[in-house]
Amino acid sequence: MRRLRNVKIVATLGPASSDYKTIRGLFEAGADVFRLNMSHGTHDDIRARHAIIRQVEADTGRPIAILADLQGPKLRLGTFVAGAVELEDGAKFRLDLDPAPGEDHRVQLPHPEIFAALEPGTTLLVNDGKTRLKVDVCGTDFADCTVIVGGMISNRKGVNVPDVVLPLAALSEKDKVDLEFACQIGVDWLALSFVQRPEDVLEARRLAKGRAAVLSKIEKPAAVKAYDEILAVSDGIMVARGDLGVELPVYSVPPIQKRLVRGARAAAKPVIVATQMLESMIENPMPTRAEVSDVATAIYEGADAVMLSAESAAGKFPIEAVQTMNNVAISVESDPTYRSVIEASRVVARASVADGIVAAAREIAESANIKAICVFTQSGNTVGLVARERPRVPIIALTPLIETARRSCLTWGAHCCITEEQERFKGAVISAVRAARSEGFAQETDQIVLTAGVPFNVQGTTNILRVAPCDERLIYRADPE
């Protein structure tokens, strides 16, 4: 099953997409990666969805990536006597550790770590930023605030603290349990929430023990400031625009998105643009024109993947949402402007032999009549390097490791194939030719470019580039035993 576009589609599973028929329908409509949201559903629910994905994978013969999205710490208010209160602009309001139900002048904030980080002038956001408080006076167990933007707040509404780095780990106790569970059932990616510093990512990597790649969600101002350091220790990035738009001025999110995407591209690490991409399709069979433009913008920027959340997890039209995203991607990538934008933002990287090999592969493929770039890989890193070049020809990722094939499904343009382990280079050439022809990328009269590393089956050894005919007789004639 060959996709007709390079950008990948991540679809979140949920109540609207938990059975085999729907999940297979999502895959056939264009989903390349399935997201399991650990914030919703029991472990039994997650395990059942995971099993269905793997069944679809077996039935279709195509690798599929699974991403488990960890919840992260949740900062919430306590409860109110009346269930909710209306705060007026300019009113005084206290947050404290007292568990007594709140009234119109105070409520519990059961997070001493927040009080430890507050100082006068700090902004507190309640209910996705709809209500804003400014700290006047604070201590270890209270904060007296002025209401800057009023509104209705109710039981257990979320709280954001955008101005400070909170002394909180990105992994709660629930997250640690969920992480171990996800690794045991066999997910390919872990999405880490509430990242503020590179140490948060390193802790997740330590617990994952290489069983899954770690993707950092950039959703807090502190993560934006420390982006380069976080990117360096992450396997991938998610631009979580929903929380960014709460904690930062909404007009600052588009340039931040562009910077984050370009940074990940330069590092040859996959980057997902997420949140509210086709949100109106939760209720409607057609998106708005603004939503289509939003998806298109992420694709023009060179994102590896675009993501559906509630649209596919709880919406009325999950398969239609994937079809819409697929059609937008095909339309954008068919636009001549897309190639000029992508190539203008290409990063020139010549720090290693592998960098030079993949750059040469792209240049040869685009200057000659080459049908595909075939990449033999153990870890998937070389696939990322080739994808960074954003070549005009397809990328075929060949690996003997199903785990590598699955993880590479998140990488721009990668068509992943399982192949046998190779001991000799000629065998690798033959295997690449057969894959290119059987998968519909080339015919007997065509040529491919092949990159590989010798010795085979060793990570980090990409050191060979070969232009090969797709006629096996010519290969045997040129390379006799």
- pLDDT tens for 154-177 read 999 999 999 889 998 999 999 999
The pLDDT tens digits of the residues spanning 49-68 come to 999 999 999 999 999 999 99
Catalytic site residue 217?
yes
More confident residue, 348 or 236: 236
Q: Would 445 be classed as within a structural domain?
A: yes
Q: Which of the listed residues 134, 160, 186 is the one where a domain comes to its end?
A: 160
CA distances from 77 to 89, 171, 258, 280 (A): 19, 20, 34, 29
Same domain as 237, residue 140: no
Compute the mean pLDDT over every residue in the chain, rounded to the nearest whole number: 95
Does 481 score more than 60 pLDDT?
no
Residues pairing with 468 in the sheet: 448
Confidence at residue 67, expressed as pLDDT on a 0 to 100 scale: 98
CA dist 329 and 357 (Å) reads 29
Confidence at residue 304, expressed as pLDDT on a 0 to 100 scale: 98
Worst-scoring range by mean pLDDT, 35-49, 150-164, 367-381, 416-430?
A: 416-430
Same domain as 304, residue 179: yes
Does 458 score more than 80 pLDDT?
no
Strands 131-138 and 142-149 come out as antiparallel
Same domain as 154, residue 57: no
- Which has the closest alpha carbon to 36: 65, 60, 63, 8? 65
Whether omega for the bond prior to residue 455 falls within 30 degrees of 0, making it cis, is: yes
- Dump the DSSP string for 78-130: --BTTSEEEEPTT-EEEEES--SPBBTTEEE---HHHHHH--TT-EEEETTTT
More confident residue, 458 or 115: 115
Q: Would 399 be classed as within a structural domain?
A: yes
Which residue in 275, 324, 404, 411 is the catalytic one? 275
Same domain as 98, residue 54: no
The pLDDT tens digits of the residues spanning 313-330 come to 999 999 999 999 999 999
- Dump the DSSP string for 415-451: EEEE----SSHHHHHHHHHHHHHHTTS--TT-EEEEE
Does 120 score more than 70 pLDDT?
yes
Confidence at residue 480, expressed as pLDDT on a 0 to 100 scale: 56
Q: Residue 387 sits in which domain range? A: 353-478
Q: Which of the listed residues 109, 131, 160 is the one where a domain comes to its end?
A: 160
Worst-scoring range by mean pLDDT, 8-22, 149-163, 345-359, 467-481?
A: 467-481
How large is the average pLDDT for residues 37-48?
A: 95
Q: Would 380 be classed as within a structural domain?
A: yes
Q: Would 461 be classed as within a structural domain?
A: yes
CB atoms closer than 10 angstroms to residue 235: 21
- Which has the closest alpha carbon to 303: 211, 218, 210? 218
How large is the average pLDDT for residues 62-77?
A: 96
> Strand, coil or helix: what is 214?
strand
Same domain as 188, residue 324: yes
Spell out the alpha helix ranges (H) of 284-317: 289-300, 310-313
Does 283 score more than 60 pLDDT?
yes
CA dist 217 and 70 (Å) reads 10
CA 235 vs. chain centroid, Å, equals: 10
Confidence at residue 306, expressed as pLDDT on a 0 to 100 scale: 98
Phi, psi of 325 (to 5 degrees): -65, -40
CATH number at residue 93: 2.40.33.10
Catalytic site residue 297?
no
Which residue in 5, 8, 24, 35 is the catalytic one? 35
The pLDDT tens digits of the residues spanning 200-252 come to 999 999 999 999 999 999 999 999 999 999 999 999 999 999 889 999 999 99
Same domain as 249, residue 302: yes
Q: Would 344 be classed as within a structural domain?
A: no
Same domain as 299, residue 280: yes
The pLDDT-based confidence of 358 (bands split at 50, 70, 90) is very high
- Dump the DSSP string for 329-349: HHHHHTSHHHHHHHHHT----
Same domain as 188, residue 250: yes
Query: Which H/E stretch holds residue 133?
Result: strand 131-138
Same domain as 51, residue 182: yes
CA 342 vs. chain centroid, Å, equals: 20
Same domain as 462, residue 440: yes
CA dist 359 and 364 (Å) reads 9
Does 258 score more than 80 pLDDT?
yes
The pLDDT tens digits of the residues spanning 388-403 come to 999 999 999 999 999 9
Rounded to two decimals, the pTM is: 0.94
Phi, psi of 71 (to 5 degrees): -70, -45
> Strand, coil or helix: what is 7?
coil
Q: Would 343 be classed as within a structural domain?
A: no
Q: Would 17 be classed as within a structural domain?
A: yes
Confidence at residue 55, expressed as pLDDT on a 0 to 100 scale: 98
Which residue in 47, 54, 76, 130 is the catalytic one? 76
Work out how many domains the chain is built from and give that number. Answer: 3
CA dist 170 and 156 (Å) reads 20
Same domain as 225, residue 296: yes
Q: Would 342 be classed as within a structural domain?
A: no
Same domain as 215, residue 150: no
CA dist 78 and 90 (Å) reads 22
Q: Which of the listed residues 133, 160, 187 is the one where a domain comes to its end?
A: 160
CA distances from 6 to 134, 162, 293 (A): 46, 35, 18
Which residue in 24, 62, 205, 217 is the catalytic one? 217
CA atoms within 13 A on the CB side of 440: 5
The pLDDT-based confidence of 455 (bands split at 50, 70, 90) is confident
